[in-house]
Amino acid sequence: MFCLITGGARSGKSRYAERLMVELVRGKREKGDGGGEVVYVATAQALDEEMADRIRRHRQRRPPDWETVESPMALFSTLRELAARKVPPAGVLVDCATLYWSNRLLAVAAPEESGSAQQLDSLARMELASLEADLEEEMRSFGEQLSRIPYHLIIVTNEVGWGVVPETPLGRAYRDLAGRCNQLLASLADQVILMVSGIPVCIKPETGYSAHK
């Protein structure tokens, strides 16, 4: 099963995703499906002390037997590589897609921008359009392989567009990119769960599997 978990900042997405993965893997093993352990795919990069502290807290909270694989720039290739292992994982949890979009965006966007309307030209409009096309192709290609993926997959993402309108062109470009990429991910997912103040609301399909604790 592929489950997408979305919501605003600090809505409980990561904690819920971890609980749901534990239940999904337990159910898989009770059915005798076996498989390896859970792999946590981290897209974050510790570029400052705040992010480094957040990464430390997430690691401390995860079960100690989960394997961590860092993939800040090649998420969907990593998911394919995990599926091709001799003993594939029982489950893979990606946290989070929006950091992956951000990493890819910053790799092609100007590192500094003043926030003026004209500054959007310095973000290489053509390169941004090419990036979005590349990400869409990555997701569509991965979607064609989903039926053959041998593990439960949970991807955490954020509803960036629910916040304050970004002041800078780069911020608005990121908001738009994340929103469109999230739409495509949701179209591929078997289940989409919206987190609201720590409460999971299944929005695709209208009823579905969820962790209860």
Is 209 contained in some domain? no
Evaluate if pTM is beyond 0.75: yes
Domain that holds residue 82: 2-204
In the chain, the number of structural domains is: 1
Predicted confidence band at 55 (pLDDT cuts at 50, 70, 90)? low
Is 146 contained in some domain? yes
CATH of the domain at 74: 3.40.50.300
Binding-site annotation, residues: 7-14, 42-44, 59-62, 70, 95
pLDDT digits (tens, 9 = 90+) for 174-191: 999 999 999 999 999 999
Mean pLDDT for the stretch of residues 90-99: 96
Predicted confidence band at 107 (pLDDT cuts at 50, 70, 90)? confident
By annotation, the residues acting in catalysis are: 58
Is 14 contained in some domain? yes
pLDDT of 176: 93
Predicted confidence band at 115 (pLDDT cuts at 50, 70, 90)? very low
pLDDT digits (tens, 9 = 90+) for 58-94: 666 778 899 999 999 999 999 999 999 999 999 999 9
Is 60 contained in some domain? yes
Is 68 contained in some domain? yes
Q: Mind giving me the DSSP string for 72-135?
A: SS-HHHHHHHHHTSSS--SEEEEE-HHHHHHHHHHHHS-S-----GGGGGGG-HHHHHHHHHHH
Binding-site annotation, residues for GTP: 7-14, 42-44, 59-62, 70, 95
Is 211 contained in some domain? no
